[in-house]
């Protein structure tokens, strides 16, 4: 085989591998509606609103979810927001996960809504 043919075959194999799932889902992901509803026991990392993903393999993503209760204890970079930008505010702050993690957006934190 000539060099262009080898390159074409290698790209075809890479394209097939890229379409395969990264890992098999666990029981929590497949049937975990009750598990996901319990916000105190939810698995992390999970994300409902995916933000920026870097084009890497596997992808590195950040999450745009906000929480009024704070971030998960495993979160390394939790950003605190207030209504006026200061720490002295009458409104309660909200928090956002600012970690950049592998496959952050692969699993939802809450069950998806069913459209009837």
pLDDT, one tens digit per residue, over 85-110 is 665 556 788 998 888 888 778 888 88
Q: Where are the domains of the chain?
A: 29-106
For the domain with range 29-106, which CATH number is right: 2.40.40.20, 1.20.950.20, 3.20.20.70, 2.10.69.10? Answer: 2.10.69.10
Pairwise CA distance, residues 84 & 52, whole Å: 25
Of 68 and 21, the one with more pLDDT: 68
6 by DSSP, 3-state: which?
A: helix
| pTM metric for this prediction | 0.50
CA distance 63 to 43: 15
Task: Provide mean pLDDT across the span 23-41.
Answer: 35
How many CA within 13 A on the CB side of residue 107? 22
pLDDT of amino acid 53: 87
Q: Is the pLDDT of residue 15 over 50?
A: yes
The pLDDT-based confidence of 1 (bands split at 50, 70, 90) is low
**pLDDT recorded at residue 10:** 75
């Amino acid at each position: 085989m000539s060099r262009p043919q080898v390159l074409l075959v290698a790209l075809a194999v890479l394209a097939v591998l890229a379409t395969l799932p990264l890992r098999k889902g666990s029981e929590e992901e497949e049937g975990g509606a009750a598990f996901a509803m319990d916000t105190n026991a939810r698995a992390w990392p999970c994300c409902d609103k995916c933000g920026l993903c870097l084009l890497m393999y596997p992808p590195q993503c950040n999450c745009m979810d906000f929480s009024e209760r704070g971030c998960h204890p495993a979160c390394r970079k939790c950003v605190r927001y207030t209504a006026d930008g200061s720490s002295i505010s009458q409104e309660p702050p909200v928090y956002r996960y600012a970690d950049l993690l592998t496959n952050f957006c692969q699993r939802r934190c809450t069950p998806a809504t069913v459209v009837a």
